[in-house]
Amino acid sequence: MSDSIAFLSVVELLARYRRGELSPLEAVRVAYERLERIEPVINAFCHVADREESLRLARESEARWRRGNPRGEMDGVPITVKDAILAKGWPTLKGSKTVEPKQPWLEDAPAVARLREQGAIILGKTTTPEFGWKGVTDSPLSGITRNPWNPHTTPGGSSGGAAAALAAGIGHAAIGTDAGGSVRIPAAFCGLVAIKATSGRVPNYPPSAAGTLGHIGPMTHTVADAAHLLNLIAIPDARDWLCLPPADIDYRIGLNGGVRGLRLAYSPALGFAKVEPAVAELAAKAARAFEDLGARVEEVAAPFEDPTGIFRTHFFAGMAHSVRHHTPEQLAMLDPGLMKIIEHARKVTITEYMSAVDQRAALGRSTRSFHQTYDLLLTPTLAVAAFTAGRLAPDGYGDDWVNWTPFTYAFNLTGQPAISVPCGFTREGLPVGLQIVGAMHQDALVLRAAQAYQCAHPAGRHPSL
């Protein structure tokens, strides 16, 4: 009975509330039962909401549904929030012992505020590497977070706790951040859907340490749920001075429109990535499946030049800037890996940084030109499947998380919408993701393509913890 509730999509959960077949009280009880049983295995939470308070909120939601007057489009839905995103009343420590927890914490981030207004029940804050600096999730504050598909492996990062909890059936959706792939990476490792919308579409406040690379996005079991949540959080907020005006789009409308007639490019390695054979095989099969759905698919070896150096300069400079006021004592408390890249970033000259800014602009022009020919770009989400937890990279990829995430960070630089959708499992039973990338502001098209693929190729299983 627990599994039959725990893995319901948000859309199906709300439908059952509406029909009176299930109550928010039952959903919250199941979430806490699973949290108490599975959390010691996966270590996905750094703060758990008071159970009795959550049950009180669930009873109030249940009463509203019985009256036929729900508060909003997430009323009574249990969710989680990454501990890099402000949630009123709870510390936001960002995986670091250097953040003082004894502060007022009086503010919700825009995405959190919008979901609370719609009646969502937040189960707690999920783990992140320190300041979100890497593509796996372990930190001096929280230790190692593990993947529910295989607890010996990493869930990815930096929204790894969010993905691990959701994949384990603890909550029905999650909110994470993404400055280099941080919702898409763990979604691929954990068999989930995650979208990084067009830059500015979801207000990003407080600003990311990585500056304009940063995004906030939903992580869900289904593409329909991702569209549902994006509707709710893609609302302008004055605290983000770069946020876009209202899109006046309901991302659910036209979601099932399919991909017939679209021009798709599939790039198996972007011209520079080293991809594990099992991942390459599954992603290529998924790309070919779009032909069966009526799209025209063409393989493109190198859609643009390797952006790795550009990304490193922007991202790691942001990490260094985020600790500029730390004392020597605080710096000594940081993750040694983070301290290493901070020391490297401090050696970057202003000329080198501004050259990277120019190169980023050139990359953006290149991808805009690319999308004059192709509606969408398909790639593997990652170069590898989940590897041993506690490591920064698998064998053969050095000691650098950027080496095995070559498909994600380019689109933080360009600001394009990109989604990861599950596309199969390795022989070891580990999930693999397909990434679908659109031109700027084509979020609805990205969701539509992902929906077409997921409806034709549903994953069909969940972890058995």
Catalytic residues: 82, 158, 182
Buried b / exposed e along 150-171 (16+ C-beta atoms within 10 A)? bbebbbbbbbbbbbbbbbbbbb
Tokens of 8: 């319901």
For 351, other C-beta atoms within 10 Å of its C-beta total 8
Query: Helix 350-370 crosses helix 308-322 at what angle (to 10 degrees)?
Result: 130
Going from the C-alpha of 87 to that of each of 83, 101, 186, 261, the distances in angstroms are 9, 13, 22, 43
Strands 215-220, 174-178: pairing is antiparallel
Cis peptide before 206 (omega within 30 of 0): yes
Alpha carbon distance 406, 191 (integer Å): 19
Q: What angle do CA 14, 445, 293 make, to 5 degrees?
A: 95
Alpha carbon distance 126, 250 (integer Å): 28
- State how far Cα 396 lies from the chain centre: 25
Whose CA is closest to 311, among 375, 357, 347?
357
Whose CA is closest to 136, among 382, 436, 421?
382
Q: 432 — phi, psi (to 5°)?
A: -130, 145
Strands 78-82, 174-178: pairing is parallel
